Structure 1
Amino acid sequence: MTEPYKHKAVPALDVFKPDLFKDKVVFVTGGGSGICYGVTETLMRFGAKAAIVGRKAERLRAAAQQLERDTKSKAIATPGDVRKIETIQHAVKQTLDAFGKIDFVICGAAGNFMAPIEGLSSNAFRAVVEIDLIGTFNTVRATMEEVKKNHGSYVHISATLHYSGLPWQSAASSAKAGIDAFSAALAVELGPFGVRSNCIAPGLIAGTEGADRLVPQGQEEMAQGFIPMQRIGQKEDIANAAVFLFSEAASWVTGQILVVDGGSVHFRGPFLPYPDAVMDTQSFKSLFPGSKM
């Protein structure tokens, strides 16, 4: 039997010119870890300077220092909570004081956990929506005048959760659907100012909190088997998509959602046993240690 072929993740520097983002400044929420850290690192390797935003100041400062060491470009930590616009406005001021402008914005701060609707409190649902959706709005409102000046670009980190009625993911699905709609409206309103807005919808990405929470323990190989490209995604895959969307090659691309998931959205395997997982939620709690019931 022929083994399935697996494409490897390709570093962006193998494809794009090295000084692609020289003198550009990127403002990144959620930039202290995960996918957004990986995207920031890649943009900095192309010459961009970065301001990363997150709630945990010490971890953020350590991340900024590591980014500088690894890329030889400049990064600053600008602590803030996307749920509070005044803290994001302060982070924007810090960025302008350090770098003088903002060209690109990545809206990537996110919160999520596994929970059936019956296990969600109003506060828990609100928390996810506030971080993901309200946080995106606050980030855009705090940065848009600067981005307009530089005819810049927004990339919002969305998801594919809401493309179907995915059990145990109602809060994140609702928030990400809102982000997709908001990005489209932003593209229309700011297009005449030379500003573009697009979403990247990652699939399952290795080494992220999302992968750790959403894949049942011990089921990593099964999850990979349901991906047409036969591998779990890497942070480089999302970084490459961001490089394209921020580059001049995408100058006529706005209001779009770029799904980067190895084809998973077209061939979804069983995320949870159905209908068992909704009829008897407690029986599956052990598969997701961080879930709420």
Structure 2
Amino acid sequence: MKSIFRDDVLEKKVAFVTGGGSGICKGIARAYLAHGARVAIVGRKADRLEDAARELSSETGRECVACPADVRNPQEVEGAIEKTLDRFGTLDVVVNGAAGNFLAPAAQLSYNAFRTVVEIDTLGTWNVSKAAFQRHLRDHGGHIVNITATLHYAATPMQAHASAAKAGVDAITRSLALEWGQLGIQVNGIAPGPIADTEGLSRLAPPGYVEKLVQTIPLRRLGRIDDVASCAVWLVSGAASYVHGETIVVDGGAWLPGMGGMMSF
């Protein structure tokens, strides 16, 4: 999909993208690079991350570096932030996209499984935001974009853990926007709906579900990774300079009918 933005709209910006080795956040990293930014992608699997960084650099002609880290570990997060600052000298955009999910009825959901998803999504968002704030954003301003979901807008079966985790992410978005806006830190979220060609949709959707789901989406199609990536570019491009503390839903209206928003990936 051809971009509506100038190729250099993010020139000289540096982005730090967690979960950037795959899926939606890899797409966001690609879009940032294509529009002039330099990008550090973050994830737990070093080999996969290095492969993604090489692919993105080769594809876009821009510098993408891999910063392996577990967002649940503040020390690892701080190390990844430092590596980014050492490499690029600045940090303008933080995208919190690292996430974990699976299907499980609440009655069968273990204590550890619930905790793990909350730790990756909610605690990870906090750890990265806090580390970036302390190391750079507090004194220089910038953008934080939190990737969330629509699961908790109603009630989604077999997603109590992810719903709670993403509700926490939305709360962090609003709180940080309130407290850090005066420092020139613009904080927003993006809530993707069902997005084609993602591991979440292929792994979590039961057989036959996608076809039925599409018929409940007002726009009658699945989302594309580019749909989410374009929103992520817009939020940090300067065009959305007065959008603050908001979570923008990018789902074709999927959550509006209730059951149509039964799963967000």
Give TM-score scaled by structure 2 length: 0.96
- The reply to whether residue 242 of structure 1 matches residue 232 of structure 2 is yes
**CA pair 73-159 structure 1, distance change in 2 beyond 3 A:** same
Q: Percent identity?
A: 48
Match of 2:153 in 1: 163
Task: Give the C-alpha shift of residue 270 in structure 1.
Answer: 6.3
Task: Give the C-alpha shift of residue 166 in structure 1.
Answer: 1.0
Secondary structure at the aligned position of 2:129 is classed as helix
- The reply to whether residue 90 of structure 1 matches residue 76 of structure 2 is no
Structure 1 stretches of 5 or more lacking a match?
1-9, 273-293
Task: Give the C-alpha shift of residue 111 in structure 1.
Answer: 0.3
Matches of 2:94 and 2:65 in 1, distance apart?
15
Match of 1:201 in 2: 191
Task: State whether residues 106 and 154 of structure 1, in contact with CA within 8 Å, keep that contact through their aligned partners in structure 2.
Answer: yes
Structure 2 stretches of 5 or more lacking a match?
none
- AA aligned opposite 2:112: N
Task: Give the C-alpha shift of residue 218 in structure 1.
Answer: 2.5
Equivalent residue runs for 1:147-186 within 5 Å: 147-186=137-176
Task: Give the C-alpha shift of residue 219 in structure 1.
Answer: 2.7
Task: State whether residues 193 and 261 of structure 2, in contact with CA within 8 Å, keep that contact through their aligned partners in structure 1.
Answer: no
Task: State whether residues 47 and 73 of structure 1, in contact with CA within 8 Å, keep that contact through their aligned partners in structure 2.
Answer: yes
Secondary structure at the aligned position of 1:248 is classed as coil
Matches of 2:41 and 2:87 in 1, distance apart?
12
Equivalent residue runs for 1:78-117 within 5 Å: 78-117=67-106
Matches of 2:208 and 2:255 in 1, distance apart?
22
Secondary structure at the aligned position of 2:249 is classed as strand
Match of 1:259 in 2: 249
- The reply to whether residue 27 of structure 1 matches residue 16 of structure 2 is yes
- The reply to whether residue 44 of structure 1 matches residue 39 of structure 2 is no
Give TM-score scaled by structure 1 length: 0.87
CA RMSD of aligned residues (A): 1.2
- Matched residues, number: 261
Task: Give the C-alpha shift of residue 170 in structure 1.
Answer: 0.2
Deviations, residues 74-106 of structure 1 (Å, cap 9, x unaligned): 011000000001001000111011101110000
Greater C-alpha Rg = 1
Secondary structure at the aligned position of 1:192 is classed as helix
